[in-house]
Structure 1
Amino acid sequence: MSKNSEHHDTYIIPPNFIEGSTLFGGMFKIRNVIEAGVLAAAVGVPVFSLDLSLTVRIIILCLTALPLALFALMGIAGEPLSSYIIAFFKWLKNRRVVGKTEPKEERKKPKPKKEKQPAPENESMLSEIAGVIRKQSAKKKHTEEPRAAETPKQKKPHRRSKADSPFLNPVAEYLPIEKIANGIIYTKDHRYIKLIEVVPINFLLRSAREQRSIIYSFISYLKISPVKIQFKVLTKRADLNKHTEIVHREMEAETDPNCRVLQEDYLKLINQIGSREATTRRFFVAFEYEQVGRRSSNEEADAIASLQTAARTAANYLKQCGNEVLTPENEDEFTVDVLYNILCRQESSDIPLPQRVQDVVSSYIAAGKDTDAIPCTEFFAPQTLDFTHAKYICVDGQYRSYLLIPSYGYKSQVAAGWLSLLVNAGDGIDIDLFLTRQPKERMVNKLGQQLRINRSKIREASDTNSDFDDLDGAIRSGYFLKEGLSNNEDFYYMNILITMTADNAEDLEWRECEMRKLLISQDLNIVSCSFREEQGFLSSLPLTNLEKHLYERSKRNVLTSGAASCYPFTAYELSDDNGILLGVNKYNNSLVIVDIFNSAAYKNANIAIMGTSGAGKTFTLQLMALRMRRKGTQVFIIAPLKGHEFLRACRNTGGEFIQISPASKNCINVMEIRKTDRSVDELLDGAPIEKSELAAKIQQLHIFFSLLIPDITHEERQLLDEALIKTYNAKGITHDNDTLKDPDNPDRYREMPILGDLYDILLIAPETKRLANILNRLVHGSASTFNQRTNVNLDNKYTVLDISELSGDLLTAGMFVALDYVWDKAKQNRTVEKTIFIDECWALIGGSANRLAANFVLEIAKIIRGYGGSAVFATQDLNDFFALDDGKYGKGIINNCKTKIVLNLEDEEAQRVQSILHLSEAEVMEITHFERGNGLISTNNNNITVEFRCSDLEKSLITTDRRELQELVEQKKR
C-alpha cells in the first residue's frame, strides 16, 4: 500500500469555547478567588480585632487565613472548595446502606461462590421470565393513571407500610426504573429508554482507508441519532460455564482413556486462564425518546413506535460500519438480563437469569405475596448498596468507584477509535460515553456572542499572562466550531464516565492508580467522584441520565467528526462456546475460542497456516489437531516432512501412526477401489445416482502416474488407461458397479489388483514397456512396499500418515496416495465433522509440483465443506506456495480458507501476504516481529493478534524445540 493510503486521520476535540471567567492573568477562576476572599476575611477580621501586637497578628494570619485562602484558590481536584464542601455535607446526610445489612465482620468475608445451576434445556424458563414481566407490566398499566396526566409537581403519595409494599428488596424500590415493557425501560422520572446490543469489530487492525470509511459511516448515524445517546461498554470476567459444560458432555461420551486425560487437562487450562486473565466485553447503546411539545394521551404509544424506529435505524447504519445489532427473541427478557449483568456483576456470572427469576418467585411465594405483581427491578436489583464510603460504594460486597474525564482532560487531537484505550483497559473497567446534540441555531448564536466577548477580553490581556493563552484557545475553538457548524456538522456535548470494579478496597485503589498512569501516558486526565459516588452509580445505569453536577464538570464540546472519533465498538472477540481454545487476544485479553464448523459464523471450515521455519507452524497445527480430537472430531494428519514430530502426540492419545516408506510394513494399495458407507447419503438424498466407480478410480490413478512419471506423453496416457481397464477386468471388475461385489461375500468388494498386476500387463506391449520399466521400482525395486494390499485402516479418530521417509518423485506420489485414501474416508458421511491437516502443502502445489496433483488439492479445499469437513493447509515456503501457474493454486487455497493464521514471516513473505490478505502496514510490522507462540488470525474480515496457549501436558506431546525436548529426556531419565 502507498504511504498516503496508510495515513491515519486525526480528529479535533476543541477546548470548550465557554469557560468560567478568571483573574490574576488566568491563574484562578473567579469563584475560587471569591471563596478565598471570603475565607480570608472570615478569619482575618477576628484576628485583627485581637489585642495583640501587629507582628503577632500577622504571624497568626500567615498560619490561618493565608493557608485557607491558598487552599480555596487551588480548590480540590479542580473543583471549587464550596462545591466540594456542599457535596461532603450532602454525602453525610445521605450516607446509608440500602437493602439487607450485615455485620462488618461478615461483610468483609468473601461470599461463597454459588454453584451455577445448568440452564434449562427447553424454553419454559425463558417463557416464565417473559410471562412474569408481562404480568407485572400489564397490572401497572391498568392500575396507574395515564402517564400524560402525570407531572413532576404531583404530590408524593403517603408511604406504604412494609407489608403493603410490593417490594421485598429495598434496592429494587430504590432503583429509578418503574417497569420494562415492549423492550422499553420506563423510568420513574417519566422517560422512555431503548437499549440495544452491538457486536464490535476489530477496528484497530483495519487499514487507514477502512478506518476512515467506518468513521464516515458512524458520522452518518450520529447525524440522525436521537438527541441524547449513551454508549456503554461492560467489561467482566469471561463466562466460560457454557464452554466447560460442553467439555464435560464430551468427556462423558469419550471412551479412550488417553483422550479423557487430555480433556481433563484442557479443563484445567481453561479454568486457569479464565480465573486470571480472560475478559469479555459487551457493547450497548441506550437512547431516550425525544418529547416534542406537550404530553399527549398517546405519548406511550408514540414513544414505543419512535424508539423501535430508532433501534432499526441504528441497526441499519451500524451495519455500514461493519457492526451487527443483536436481535433478541424477547426484548423484555434481554433488557432485564443486561441490567442484571450491570448491577449484579458477580452473581450474574454464577447464577443465570432463569435461576434468578426462580429464586425471586420462590421468595415472593414464601412471603405470601402475589407473584403476578412482582416489580421487574426485583429480577436485577442487588441485595445491598452501601453508600457509607466517600471514595467508593459497595454493591453486594463488591467495590466500585467512578471517575470522570473533566472538561480540560482531553487531548485536542486524537486518532480514530482513540476510546479503545479505555475500552481495552482490562477487567472491571466499564466505560459510559454520553453524547448530547445541541440545537444548531442556538449554538451558532451563542458562539457568535462568546467570540465577541472573548475578542474584547483578549485586547485587554497581556500576552505574558496565562489568561491570554486560554482566551486565544477559546477564540480558536469558537472559530473552529463555527466553521464546522456552517459545514453541516452538528454540535455535541460529550461526557465520559469510567466505572472501576474490584473485590476489595486495596485492589480498587490499585486499579485507579494504574488507570491514572495509563491516561497520563496518553496526555489525558481523570478526576474521582468523591462524595458523589451515588450519583456516579445512578449515572452509570444505561438510562442516558448523567447527574447534573457530573455533567457540568465533564462536558466537552465536539463536532460530529470529533464525536465519531470516539467510535467505541473496537474490542472484537472471537469466542464460540462450542469451539476449541486457541489462545488469548493480545489486545483485550479475551479468549479466542473458534468453532470453525459453525456454518452460521463461517462460510467454510478451512484454515490456512503460514509461517517461516521455526515460527511454530507445526506446533500450532498439532495443538489444533489435539483439541479437535478432544472434541471427538475425526482428525487426519498428512506429514510429508519430519513425520517423527507427530509420533509422540499420536501414541499418547491412542491414535494410529501410519508410516508409508520403502522400509515400512504399512501399505496403502493405490489401485484399491474402497467400499464406502453411503447410508447417510441415501437417507438424505434417496437412491444414489449410478456412477462408475471404476471410471472414478482410473481418473485418480492418472494423477498418481503423472506424479510418478512427469514426462508421460499423451499417447502413453491413453495406453495406460487401456492397461488399467484390462487389469481390473482380469479381476472381474467392469464399469458395472455390481461387478465390484465379492460373489462369496456380497457385503465386501472383490480382491483388488495391485501395481504388480498392472506391471505385468504393461510389460506385454512394446509401446508400454517404458511405463513398465519405471513402475518396476515400485514392484520389484527398492519401493516394492507399494506393491502390497492395504494393511492399514482409518477408523481411529486421530490418524497420522507419515510419508517423510519418501524423497524425490516418490514424496509427491506417496503424499497423493495418502491424501487419496483419506479423501475417500472423508467423503463417507456428510453429517460427521472431520479435518484433514496437510502439512508442508507447498510440496503438492509448489513450483515443481504436478498440475494434476495441485488441482486435486485445490478441489479438496473447494468441496470438503460439502462433506461436513475441514481442510487445514500449512506451509512455510510462501514463494514456492504461490509459484505454480503464477500462484493460481496457492491463491485458490487461500481464497477457499475462511480463516487464516499468519505466524512470523520474513519481510519478503510478509509483503506477499499483505497483498493477498489486504493487511495494514501495522499488521505487516507485527507479523515480521512476532515471537514464537504469537500469530495473527484473519477471519470474517477481522484480524486478531493471538498468543497461543497450551498446557504443560500438551507442550510435552507436541513441542519440537530442542531445549524443551532435552528437558523431557532428562525428566524421563529421572
Structure 2
Amino acid sequence: MEMPKSKYDQTKQNDTPRVAELTSVQDVISIVSIDDSGIFELPGKKFSKLYALSDINFAGVTDEEQKSIIINFSKVLKAIPCRFSYTVANEHVDERAFHEKVLYPLKGDKYDPLRKSYNKIIADKVSDAKQGLYQTIYLTLTIKAEDMQDAKSTFSSMESAIRSAFIGIGVNGIQGSVMRSVGINERMQLLFNLMHAGIDHHYQFDFERELKSRHDWLNIISPASICFENEGFTINGQIGRIYFVDEYPKSLESDIIAALTKMNCTSFVTVANELLDISGFKQEIARKYMAVGMKIENEKQRNRNNNDYLADASAKLLNEKDKLDAFSKKLDTDDDHYFNSTMLIYIQTKDEEELTQIEEKLMNAASLKSVKLKTCFGKQREALNSVLPLGIQEFKRVVNLSSSCLAMLMPFKTQELNDENGIYYGINQLSQNVIFADKKLLKNHNGLILGQSGSGKSVFSKSEIISTFVNYEGDQIIIIDPQSEYGSLAKEVDGTVISFDSTKEYYLNPMDVDFEGVDYGRLQEIVAEKADFILTLLSSCLRRDILPEEQGIIDKVIDKVYSENFAMRKRLNGIEDAKGEYEIPAYLRADTKGMLDTTSLSNEEQIKAYSPTLQDVYQGLKDYGNDLGLHLAAAMEIFVNGSLNLFNHRTNVDLHNRFIVFDLSGLKDNLRVTSMLIMMETVRSSIKANATKGRWTHLYIDEFHELLGVEQVANFVLKLWKEIRKMSGILNGITQNMSDLLNNENGGKLQAILSNTEYFALLSQSTLDKNKLMEFLPSISPAMFNFVDNADSGTGLLRMGAVTVPFDMKMSTESEIYRIVNTDGGGYGV
C-alpha cells in the first residue's frame, strides 16, 4: 500500500502522461482537448492557458534600476495563485518565410534596384535567421477545474491582477511587460511549427475551419515521425535534446536565461514552478531539522562509543542545523512565497554535427554562469511535454526557490522593434537583431532626429527617407531643405525641387485652393485658414500683432475673394447653386450666366489657373473703402507690385510629385520670413489635400532650429505639429542637437513639441546635450544614454513610442544606398 504523500511531496510528484506507452505519434503530446478560447485540457482535470509577454529593457538600464525590476518581478510571481511556467522561445523559423518577412518586397517598378540594394544591406546584417526576430516570452498558467467552463471562469478572474502586476514591473518611466492572451490558432500554430520542423509546409491552423471539416486536431499537430532515445530524440529527421539544471550557482545572476538562449537554433528555456503550501513547507523544514538533529546525536554517540567524550558532531552537520533553524525562523517572520522549480532547456538542430556545436556552446554558456546541465536521461518524451509551454510537468528536478530568488532567473532582456511592414533602422546593439519600425503605428507620428556634426545624422535621415519612399509607394514625401542637401536625392527618384530664387522662375501661389467636393460649409473653413495665413503674413511685414479691427477687415476681404472664386469655379464646371443648408449668399452670386463657358481643364489645372492670388487680396483691401483697408493694402504692396512679388504668380511647379524638395538655400534675407510662411502654407495645403484622398504625407524639416528661430514661422510649425496627425501626416524635425532648439528665442515651444512627439532618433550627442535630453526624456534609462554619449557615427538610440533600442545603422561603403545617401562626402560606413 502506497504511503500518503505530504503536501510538499505532492509538489515534487510528476504529472501522469496522457498515454503511458507510446504506440503512435499522436500519443506524444499530453493534451486531452482544446477550446476556441485557447485553453488546453490536460490529464487529471488540469487546464492551461498561454500568454505572450512583451520584453522590457532589462539589459540596458542601470544596476539600481535592474534591482528595482527584479523586486517588482518577484511581486509579480507572488501575485500568481496557481502553477505556472515561463518560457523564452527561439521558435522554429522557416528560412524562406523569414526572408519574405524581413526583406523589402519588390514592386516591379523602376525603384526595385533601390529595394534590392537595401535587401543586400539587411541580408548582410542578418547572418542567421534562426537567431533573429522570433524570440518570444511565454507565460503558462495551469489550474485545476471541474470542466472547461469552470476553467474559463477561473482564468478570467485571475488574469486582470496578473496583467496589472506585469505592467508594474517597469521603473522610472520604463514600460512594464504587456501580457497578451494567446488565442487557439496561434497556440496550435506554435505546436504545429515545432512538430513539423524539417518539413516544408505553408499550413495555417484555423480552429473554425478544422471544426467545420471535422478534422482531428491531434492528427494535425502530430509530427510525421518521432523516435525517442535515452539522451535525445529525432523528429522528422531533426535532432532534439532536452537538459535540466542539475546544480545552480551559490549566487544567482540575473542574466542566466539570457546566456542560455543565445543559441542559433530552435530552442526553449522553461522555468516551471509549483507554489508551495507554506504550512507543508514548514513541516518539511521541521522534518529535515529533526533528521539532521538525529544525525548529530548519532555522530555524538559514535564518538562516545570510541571513548571520545569531548568531541562534538562534524562542523558540516552543525552548520546545516544552524541554517535550517535560521530558515525556519525566517519562514515565521517573512511574507515570501516559495516554489519547487525545475529549469529545462530544449535545443533542436538539423543534424548531429550541428547538435554537437550547439551543445558545446550551451555548456560553455552554462559553465560561465556556474550552472551544471544534465540531459533528461531516459525521460526525453516527458521532458518534451514539460519544456513546451503547455502547462505540463511530467519531468521534475526541483529546487526550492523563494520568489525573490526565482525573480533572479529573469526572462526579460531587451526590447525589440519588429513592426510588420516597417522600414529598416539597422540592428539592435543589445540583441544584434534587425530593427524594423513603422511610425504610422504610433499614437503620435511626429519625430525628431538629433545628432551633433559628424554623427551620421544626414545619412540616417536620407536613408529613412529613401526607405519610406520605396516601401510606401502611395505616400508623398516633402522636404524643407535650407542648405541644398537633398537635390541629388530628388534626382535619384525623379523628384521635384522647388527653389525660392527669383532667377529660376519657380512660382508658388500661396492662395491656391481645391474646391472639388467642397460645399459652402467647408468653404468657410478654407476662408478661415487663408485669413489666418494673411494675418500672419501682414504681421511679419508690420512687425506687430494685427489689431482686432484690422482682423475684421481681412476676414471680410478673404471671405469675399474666395466666395466669388468659389461661385465662379462652380459656373465653370456647370454646377448650379445648391439649395440647402450652405447656400451661397445672394450678394455673392455673380451674374455670370452666359458670360462663362464651362471649362475643359482638369481639377489640378483649374487650381493653378483660377485660384485667387495675392493681387486679389491686395485689390480687395484697397476697395474696402477706409483708411485701415488702405493701410493694410500698402503693407502688401511690396508682395504684389514691389521687389518681393515672387509669390504673386500662379503656381508653375508640380506639387503632386511623390517627392518634393523646397530648397531655401538661395533665399535673400528680405524674402526669408515671407518665403518660409508661404512655403509652410503650401505644405499644409498639400497635406490636407492628401488627407482627403487617404494619402499619407511625410514632412521632413532639416535644420529644424532655423524655422523655430522665426516667431511667425515657429507658431505655424507648432500648430502644424499638433494637427498633422489628424491629416495622416508625419512631421520630422532634423537638427544637430538640443542646444540648437533651446538657444533661440522660441526655445520655450520645445516642451509643446516634445509632448506631441513619440519618435526620437538620437545619434551622437555631446555631454551637455545628453544631459538636456535626459532631462526632457526621463522615461529613458540613464544607462541607455551611454549609447549616444559621443557615440560612433551611425549609431545611437531609437525611441518609438514606449520602446527604446540602441541602433547601429552602419552600412558598407560599397553599397548603392550608401552612394546615394552619402551625398555630402562624409557620413559613415564600414
Shorter-chain TM-score above 0.5: yes
The answer (yes or no) to whether the contact 1:481–1:559 under 8 Å persists in 2 is no
Partner residue of 1:410 out of 240, 249, 259: 249
Measured in 2, the distance between the counterparts of 1:823 and 1:239 equals 45
The answer (yes or no) to whether the contact 2:794–2:828 under 8 Å persists in 1 is no
- Look up the equivalent residue of 2:666 and give its one-letter code: E
How do 1:950-961 and structure 2 match up within 5 A? 952-960=815-823
Point out where structure 2 has 5 or more consecutive residues left out of the alignment.
1-7, 9-14, 170-175, 301-313, 573-595
Query: Residue 696 in 1 paired to residue 565 in 2?
Result: no
Partner residue of 2:162 out of 314, 317, 322: 314
Deviation for aligned residue 1:215: 4.6
- The match for 2:306 is none
The answer (yes or no) to whether the contact 2:614–2:639 under 8 Å persists in 1 is no
Deviation for aligned residue 1:576: 2.3
Measured in 1, the distance between the counterparts of 2:328 and 2:163 equals 29
Larger deviation, residues 188-197 vs 897-906: 188-197
How do 1:84-95 and structure 2 match up within 5 A? none
The answer (yes or no) to whether the contact 1:667–1:785 under 8 Å persists in 2 is yes
Deviation for aligned residue 1:778: 9.9
Gap change, CA 1:224 and 1:893, over 3 Å in 2: closer
How do 1:758-907 and structure 2 match up within 5 A? 785=646, 788-806=649-667, 808=669, 810-830=671-691, 831-845=694-708, 849-884=709-744, 887-907=747-767
RMSD (Å), alpha carbons: 4.6
- The match for 2:187 is 335
TM-score scaled by structure 1? 0.67
- The match for 1:637 is 478
The answer (yes or no) to whether the contact 2:78–2:337 under 8 Å persists in 1 is yes
The answer (yes or no) to whether the contact 1:179–1:187 under 8 Å persists in 2 is yes
- The match for 2:436 is 593
Deviation for aligned residue 1:423: 4.7
For residues 406-464 of structure 1, the C-alpha deviation after alignment (integer angstroms, 9 at most, x for no partner) is: 23x3352545x764444566553321011121121122233345456668979989xxx
- The match for 1:22 is none
Partner residue of 1:236 out of 91, 94, 102: 91
Gap change, CA 1:719 and 1:633, over 3 Å in 2: same
- The match for 1:433 is 271
The answer (yes or no) to whether the contact 1:903–1:936 under 8 Å persists in 2 is yes
The answer (yes or no) to whether the contact 1:223–1:490 under 8 Å persists in 2 is yes
- The match for 1:282 is 136
Gap change, CA 1:341 and 1:689, over 3 Å in 2: same
For residues 376-427 of structure 1, the C-alpha deviation after alignment (integer angstroms, 9 at most, x for no partner) is: 2222222122335x654332222223333323x3352545x76444456655
Gap change, CA 1:248 and 1:697, over 3 Å in 2: same
SS at match of 2:678: helix
- The match for 2:284 is 446
- Look up the equivalent residue of 2:514 and give its one-letter code: T
Deviation for aligned residue 1:852: 2.5
SS at match of 1:578: coil
Measured in 1, the distance between the counterparts of 2:19 and 2:793 equals 70
Query: Residue 538 in 1 paired to residue 385 in 2?
Result: yes
Query: Residue 579 in 1 paired to residue 422 in 2?
Result: yes
Measured in 1, the distance between the counterparts of 2:696 and 2:632 equals 44
- Look up the equivalent residue of 2:242 and give its one-letter code: Y
Query: Residue 651 in 1 paired to residue 651 in 2?
Result: no
Gap change, CA 1:805 and 1:447, over 3 Å in 2: farther
Measured in 2, the distance between the counterparts of 1:495 and 1:187 equals 19
Deviation for aligned residue 1:824: 0.6
SS at match of 2:753: helix
Gap change, CA 1:947 and 1:814, over 3 Å in 2: same
- Look up the equivalent residue of 1:434 and give its one-letter code: A
Measured in 1, the distance between the counterparts of 2:448 and 2:475 equals 19
- The match for 2:590 is none
- The match for 2:113 is 261
Measured in 1, the distance between the counterparts of 2:568 and 2:664 equals 30
Measured in 1, the distance between the counterparts of 2:633 and 2:324 equals 85
- The match for 1:115 is none
How do 1:585-624 and structure 2 match up within 5 A? 585-598=428-441, 602-624=442-464
Gap change, CA 1:236 and 1:248, over 3 Å in 2: closer
Measured in 2, the distance between the counterparts of 1:577 and 1:472 equals 58
SS at match of 2:32: strand
Measured in 2, the distance between the counterparts of 1:479 and 1:690 equals 82
Measured in 1, the distance between the counterparts of 2:163 and 2:320 equals 38
How do 1:471-486 and structure 2 match up within 5 A? 472=319, 475-476=322-323, 479=326, 482-483=329-330, 486=333
Measured in 1, the distance between the counterparts of 2:360 and 2:274 equals 30
Gap change, CA 1:861 and 1:961, over 3 Å in 2: same
Q: Between Structure 1 and Structure 2, which shows a larger proportion of helix residues?
A: 1
SS at match of 2:285: helix
Deviation for aligned residue 1:246: 8.9
- The match for 1:78 is none
- The match for 2:234 is 394
Deviation for aligned residue 1:797: 0.9
- The match for 1:202 is 57
Partner residue of 1:383 out of 209, 224, 229: 224
Deviation for aligned residue 1:828: 1.4
SS at match of 2:676: helix
For residues 270-316 of structure 1, the C-alpha deviation after alignment (integer angstroms, 9 at most, x for no partner) is: 5665563533122222232237xxxxxx4565445434544455334
Identity %: 18
Gap change, CA 1:949 and 1:820, over 3 Å in 2: farther
For residues 80-119 of structure 1, the C-alpha deviation after alignment (integer angstroms, 9 at most, x for no partner) is: xxxxxxxxxxxxxxxxxxxxxxxxxxxxxxxxxxxxxxxx
Deviation for aligned residue 1:180: 2.0
The answer (yes or no) to whether the contact 1:226–1:287 under 8 Å persists in 2 is no
Measured in 2, the distance between the counterparts of 1:419 and 1:483 equals 28
Point out where structure 1 has 5 or more consecutive residues left out of the alignment.
1-17, 19-150, 161-169, 292-297, 362-369, 462-466, 968-974
Gap change, CA 1:506 and 1:439, over 3 Å in 2: same
The answer (yes or no) to whether the contact 2:39–2:49 under 8 Å persists in 1 is yes
- The match for 2:579 is none
Deviation for aligned residue 1:603: 1.0
- Look up the equivalent residue of 1:673 and give its one-letter code: M
The answer (yes or no) to whether the contact 1:200–1:323 under 8 Å persists in 2 is yes
- The match for 1:733 is 561
For residues 542-574 of structure 1, the C-alpha deviation after alignment (integer angstroms, 9 at most, x for no partner) is: 3344455xx33xx33221222233342444332
Deviation for aligned residue 1:264: 4.3
Measured in 2, the distance between the counterparts of 1:935 and 1:203 equals 18
Deviation for aligned residue 1:911: 0.9
The answer (yes or no) to whether the contact 2:498–2:663 under 8 Å persists in 1 is yes
The answer (yes or no) to whether the contact 2:680–2:716 under 8 Å persists in 1 is no
SS at match of 2:473: coil
For residues 320-360 of structure 1, the C-alpha deviation after alignment (integer angstroms, 9 at most, x for no partner) is: 443333345xx443332232234334558x523249999x9
Deviation for aligned residue 1:777: 9.8
Gap change, CA 1:889 and 1:903, over 3 Å in 2: same
Gap change, CA 1:760 and 1:316, over 3 Å in 2: closer
> How many residues are paired up?
755
Deviation for aligned residue 1:906: 1.0
Measured in 1, the distance between the counterparts of 2:63 and 2:696 equals 39
Query: Residue 942 in 1 paired to residue 803 in 2?
Result: yes
SS at match of 1:289: strand
The answer (yes or no) to whether the contact 1:344–1:382 under 8 Å persists in 2 is yes
Deviation for aligned residue 1:193: 2.7
SS at match of 1:306: helix
How do 1:416-565 and structure 2 match up within 5 A? 419-423=257-261, 427-451=265-289, 472=319, 475-476=322-323, 479=326, 482-483=329-330, 486-529=333-376, 532-548=379-395, 551-552=396-397, 555-565=398-408
The answer (yes or no) to whether the contact 2:46–2:144 under 8 Å persists in 1 is no
